[in-house]
């Protein structure tokens, strides 16, 4: 069986030869995808409009087969105490808690926006029933250690612009590669490498990503010129 290092060298040489005859295909850089879960009627229209300018928003349409590898961020709106507790304790017996668990397991960025009533107690420094609220705040802290954010819609809106631009910038740099090699995986400081579906990924690159605990995400490219 041929050594994978040799295979990668052959692929590199072939790509160099092809590059002399063909131009790098142009790629339409799309906005990062935001999956919105929950009732949007509780959100001010102006906030939703601001989200639309930075994200390609996808509403949760009761689909049981959500492809998280095509989602850059998930936000749970009007989240109840039930979701907060279940997410912190690893319980998944509802549609939302199952999705939250899946996001955490696959390290998909998550923001949880509690109901207004819950926020009044969760973010209150001097609650009336401190022992009970402290338990809820402990759930919040546990979710933070899992990688999820528990915040207000205002803070999410304020930070989402920078987050979306950072994802777009990273995507535009990585996606344009025609070939992803072991060296690219080793040199990338991010956990996730984003490439388009026209990129050739060498077997050694996949092996190295697996060994380093990195994720190679392939995004479908629409309207690309060959």
Q: What is the pLDDT of residues 163-214, one digit of tens each?
A: 666 666 555 555 567 788 888 888 887 788 888 888 888 888 898 988 888 8
Give the confidence band of 224 by pLDDT, cuts at 50, 70, 90.
very low
Q: What is the pLDDT of residues 14-60, one digit of tens each?
A: 666 555 444 444 445 578 889 999 999 989 999 989 888 889 888 87
Residues 6+ apart with CB under 8 A from 208: 182, 185, 186, 214
- Residue 137: the pLDDT is 95
Residues 6+ apart with CB under 8 A from 127: 121, 133
- Residue 61: the pLDDT is 65
- Residue 226: the pLDDT is 39
Give the confidence band of 162 by pLDDT, cuts at 50, 70, 90.
low
Q: What is this structure's pTM? A: 0.64
């Amino acid at each position: 069986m041929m050594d994978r290092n040799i295979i990668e060298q052959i692929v590199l040489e072939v790509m160099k030869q092809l590059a002399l005859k063909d131009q790098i295909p142009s790629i339409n850089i799309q906005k990062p995808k935001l999956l919105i879960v929950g009732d949007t009627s509780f959100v001010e229209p102006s906030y939703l409009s601001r989200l639309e300018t930075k994200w390609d928003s996808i509403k949760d349409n009761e689909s049981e087969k959500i492809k998280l590898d095509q989602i850059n961020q998930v936000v749970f709106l009007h989240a109840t105490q039930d979701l907060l507790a279940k997410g912190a304790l690893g319980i998944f017996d509802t549609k939302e808690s199952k999705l939250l668990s899946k996001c955490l397991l696959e390290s998909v960025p998550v923001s949880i926006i509690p109901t207004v009533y819950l926020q009044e107690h969760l973010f209150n420094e001097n609650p009336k029933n401190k022992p009970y609220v402290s338990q809820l705040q402990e759930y919040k802290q546990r979710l933070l250690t899992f990688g999820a954010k528990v915040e207000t819609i205002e803070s999410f809106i304020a930070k989402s612009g920078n987050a979306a631009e950072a994802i777009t910038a990273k995507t535009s740099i990585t996606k344009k590669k025609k070939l992803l090699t072991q060296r690219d995986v080793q040199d990338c400081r991010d956990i996730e490498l984003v490439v388009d579906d026209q990129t050739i990924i060498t077997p050694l690159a996949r092996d190295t990503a697996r060994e380093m605990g990195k994720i190679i995400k392939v995004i479908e490219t629409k309207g690309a010129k060959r």
